Amino acid sequence: MADTISIVDNRTGKKYELPIQDGTIRAMDLRQIKEKPDDFGLMTYDPAFMNTANCRSAITYIDGDKGILLYRGYPIEQLAEDSNFLETAYLILFGELPTAAQQQNWNREITLHTMLHENIKKLMEGFQYDAHPMAIFLSIVGAMSGFYPDAKDIFNKESRLKQTHRAIAKVPSIAAWAFRHSIGRPYVYPDNDLSFTGNFLNMLFKMTELKYQPNAVLERALDVLFILHADHEQNCSTTTMRTIGSAHADPYSSIAGAAGALYGPLHGGANEAVLRMLHEIGSVSKVPEFIKKVKSGEAGNRLMGFGHRVYKSYDPRAKVIKRIADIVFTVTGKNPLLEIALELERIALQDDYFVSRKLYPNVDFYSGLIYQAMGFPVEMFPVLFAIPRTAGWIAQWEEMLLDPEQKIARPRQIYTGPVQRDYVPREKRA
């Protein structure tokens, strides 16, 4: 049997045979289907890309029904157990796990690029003390376009690699300084003797001690959280990254845009929203009442941290995170909001409203509780997400740039406005 589909246009009686490849038909193949020869041709209408593949990608695989997530073929559970963030970032970017020599070189390159230009300090200082750190983060990342004009050389492999080192190395520094700015503490310079996450904790929390010693449990927990957040195929921010990149903008401009998408409460802002929701609920006894409100759709209430466009079962990242939470709480003490979260999950997983809609906890349901226990204010949560996701964004951006089938992203529309009409002089308007 040929892998084709036959379509009969009942307007004309004409029959078309379209190829099927990878379970997909090409939307452009529909264009030949016309009622009259000068018609534009048939289009597909797919708001929010619910059923449209925007690219071919070899980076991340998700099976939303089975709850499977693979980076370059490796299961997320194995990477969370055995890998570290920098190794996983290398895997995502270059397609294979690094050899010992490649890993050493990669770690060295990242470590060498952790410093920020001194003028970035002045930019940071321009923000009010209460500016959201994600607003600072995405502004500074965008500003890097001005600091590194060589980043515009996007078809030069060496230049792309340099920007990759810079971006991955500098995002923790930007994030930490945004945090220090918001609490009025002096910025801390990177300590290159420490690991990627150890140094990040240093830049966040160092006080007057000469040498900051990160807590090994928290350092590893944060590293695992970074592994879990490093990529997630064609999500909202990654699609933004690819879209901006498709106009051949430099990577910093694209990352700034992607970070803007991640800032939204339906995406990376969700764990911040989860914490606010748990605070609002206040106690375990109020959980049933809150669930009732969510189900009635009252005031647009949603159970934040539940549901996912792709996962229609338990998000595999949420399973790992639940385990990390227990480990982190042995160091930090239990987050008092945990009981409310557990009760919400327990009730929701038995309730027909959530079960029938296949709404399960996603990555954000428990991550906020861990971040809060580690001493991060909720405003830092999307920033903590953006740090590892920078690796995924860059990998997806580069894949898009090198894909000969890609062009500037430019969807079509179905026009619903008035037909052409003549300008009405002001005195004649009703």
H or E element, residue 143: helix 133-147
Residue 294 in the binding site for ligand ACO (CB under 6 A): yes
Shortest distance in whole angstroms from residue 76 CB to ligand ACO: 14
Give me Rg for the CA atoms of the chain: 24
Q: Across the strands, what pairs with 18?
A: 5
Closest residue to ligand ACO: CB criterion? 307
Rule CB under 6 A: say whether 309 interacts with ligand ACO: yes
| Strand duo 60-63 + 68-71: pairing | antiparallel
User: Which residue, 151 or 380, is less far from ligand ACO as judged by CB?
Assistant: 380
Q: How far is the CB of 265 from ligand ACO (least distance, A)?
A: 7
Position 8: which residue type?
A: V
Q: For residue 65, what are its two tokens?
A: 């029904």
Cα→Cα distances 173→107, 201, 397, Å = 16, 10, 22
**Binding residue for ligand ACO (CB under 6 A) from 198, 257, 307, 382?**
307
Angle CA 327–328–333, to nearest 5: 110
Nearer to ligand ACO, 34 or 276 (CB): 276
CA distances from 138 to 35, 174, 377, 386 (A): 48, 9, 18, 9
134/202 Cα distance (integer angstroms): 20
The minimum distance between CB 98 and ligand ACO, in angstroms, equals 27
- Distance between CA 1 and CA 3 in Å, rounded? 6
* Minimum CB distance to ligand ACO, residue 68 (Å): 16
Query: Minimum Å distance from CB 67 to ligand ACO?
Result: 14
Rounded to a whole number of angstroms, the minimum distance from the CB of residue 406 to ligand ACO is 24
Say whether residue 355 binds ligand ACO (CB under 6 A). Answer: no
Question: In the complex with ligand ACO, which residue's Cβ is closer, 357 or 412?
Answer: 357
Number of residues that bind ligand ACO (CB under 6 A): 17
- Asked if 385 and 235 count as a contact pair (C-beta separation under 8 A), the reply is no
Whole-angstrom CA distances from 19 to 11, 25, 35, 53, 136 are 22, 6, 21, 16, 48
Q: Does 65 qualify as catalytic in the annotation?
A: no
267 is a catalytic site residue: yes
Binding range to ligand ACO, per CB under 6 A, among 128-136, 205-213, 247-255, 265-273: 265-273
Q: Applying CB under 6 A, does 386 fall inside the site for ligand ACO?
A: no
Respond yes or no: is residue 165 known to be catalytic.
Answer: no
Q: What is the DSSP string of 195-257?
A: -HHHHHHHHHH--S-SS----HHHHHHHHHHHHHTS--SS-HHHHHHHHHHHTT--HHHHHHH
Which residue in 229, 308, 315, 351 is the catalytic one?
308
CB 92 within 8 A of CB 392: yes
C-beta of 30 vs 342, nearer to ligand ACO: 342
Least Å distance, CB 397 to ligand ACO, is 19
With respect to ligand ACO, which residue has the nearer C-beta, 308 or 322? 308
Nearer to ligand ACO, 190 or 392 (CB): 392
- What is the token pair recorded at 48? 């929010």
Nearest-angstrom CA–CA distance, 214 and 202: 7
User: Could you say whether residue 312 binds ligand ACO (CB under 6 A)?
Assistant: no
Q: Which of 178, 320, 359, 369 binds ligand ACO (CB under 6 A)?
A: 359
Contact with ligand ACO (CB under 6 A): which of 152, 162, 267, 312?
267
Residue 171: C-alpha distances to residues 9, 188, 203, 270, 402 (Å): 53, 14, 12, 20, 24
Q: Which is nearer to ligand ACO, 297 or 417 (CB)?
A: 297
The one-letter amino acid code at 106 reads: W
Q: Does residue 306 touch ligand ACO according to CB under 6 A?
A: yes
- Contact between 362 and ligand ACO per CB under 6 A: yes
Residue 270 touching ligand ACO (CB under 6 A): yes
Residues forming contacts to ligand ACO in the complex (CB under 6 A) are 266-267, 270, 294, 302-309, 357, 359, 362-364
Which are the catalytic amino acids?
267, 308, 364
